A = this chain, B = another copy of it.
Amino acid sequence: MSAGGGRVRIYDVAHLAGVSVATASKALNDTGRMTDETRAKVKVAAAELGFRPNAMARGLIQRRSFTIGLLTNDSYGRFTLPVMAGISEALVDQGVSVFLCGIEDDPALGKLHLDAMLDKQVDGIIASGKRVDRRLPVDLSNLPVPVVYAFTEGHEGSVTLVSDDAQGSAEAVEHLKRLGRKRIVHVTGPETFASVRERAAAYRNALGGEGIVLHGEWSEHWGHAAVDLLWTAEGARPDAIFCGNDQIGRGVVDALRERGVSVPEDVAVVGFDNWDIVASQTRPPMTSVDMNLKAIGREAGRLVLELAEGRAVEPGIRKLPCRLVIRQSCGGNAAVTHRRGGVEATVD
C-alpha cells in the first residue's frame, strides 16, 4: 500500500495483472473491449498496489487538468469563502480541485495569478469579489478557458451569478408587515452600491412606494448614528428597522438597547448577509437575509464545468433567491426565549 519510493505507475499494474499497459488503461477506465475477467483482474491488481493515475500525464493527453481557478479580491473572505465552499462541494465529486487566488485590487498580482493558472491549464475560472457592481482588476474577457462570475461584475456576454437582492429585501419587508409592523425604516449602506439601490427600491416597492431610507457607511457606528437620528427627529418613530447589512443591524440593536427601547417588542430589526458571527451574537440574535452564497458557489461550479466540457450555457445574469433566517429580533410566532445561552464559569 503506497510504498515509500517511487509511486506506482500503470506499468506496474499491467505487469502484475499480466496484461499490456494499453489493456490496463482501458480496464481501469471502463473503455475498450475485453473479457470481464481481464477487466476484473486488472482492477484487483490496481487495488492491491493502491494505484492512482498521475493526473498530469492524464491531463496532458485529455487536455483537461480537472482543476479550476477561483480569483477574488475579497481578502477578508467574508463573501468568497462561502462561495468557495459551494464550488468545492459541487466539484470535489468530479475530482476537480480549486486554486484559490487572492489578488487584492492589484492588477499586477491579478495577472501573475491568472497566468500561473492558465499555465497550469485550468479547465475554467470563477471570478468572485466583495461587491456585485465592481470588476476585478484583471481582464478575463478573452481567455482560452471558460469564465463564470460569481458575486462580481462580468464582461459582455458572460455568465454571471448574483443573489436576488430585490427578492431578499422584499421578503424581509413582507415578514415585518406580516408581523404587524407599520412604520418600517431602511437603514443601509452608501448609495453608490448597486445592491444598496436595488434593496432600497424593493423595500419601497414592498411598501407601496412609501418608506424612509437612510444611507451611511457599512458599520456599527452608522447603525448607532441612524438610531440617534431617528429617535431625535420629529414625528412617529419606527416600529421596525430593516438594515442593509448585519453590522449596521448590530449597531442598531445595540443603540436601541442603550436607549431602553426593547427589541423585538418595541422595534423589530432585520439584518442582511446573515453573517453568523454577527447576527447570532447580537442581543437578541438577529433575523437576517441570507444571500445563499454557498448555492451561488455550487451553481458557479456546475456551470463552469458545463462550459469546460463543451456544453453550451445561456449567458447573462442569473439571480439566485435569498432566504430569510429567522432569529429573535422580530418576535412573532416563535417562542421568544431570550436566553443567555449556557454560560458556565469556573474560577480558578
Interface size class of A (residues with CB under 8 A): 35 or more
Report how many copies the assembly holds: 2
Query: Which chain B positions have C-beta within 8 A of A77?
Result: 77, 81
Task: Assess whether B225 is in contact with A54, with CB atoms less than 8 Å apart.
Answer: no
Minimum CB distance partner of A144 in chain B: B7
Chain B residue at smallest Cβ distance from A216: B345
Residues of chain B with a CB closer than 8 A to A212's CB: 347
| Chain A contacts with B in 92-142, Cβ cutoff 8 A | 92-93, 95-102, 109, 112-113, 115-121, 142
A75: contacting residue among B55, B85, B112, B247, CB under 8 A: B85
Secondary structure dominating the interface of A:
mixed
Q: A116 with B97: in contact, given A76-B81, A217-B344 (CB under 8 Å)?
A: yes
Q: Does A52 contact B (CB under 8 A)?
A: yes
Among A31-39, A58-66, A313-321, the stretch that binds chain B is A58-66
Query: Measuring CB to CB, which residues of chain A are less than 8 angstroms from any residue of chain B?
Result: 2, 4, 7, 52-57, 59-60, 65-67, 69, 75-77, 81, 84-85, 88, 92-93, 95-102, 109, 112-113, 115-121, 142, 144, 191, 212-217, 219-222, 224-226, 229, 247, 254, 258, 277, 281, 340-348
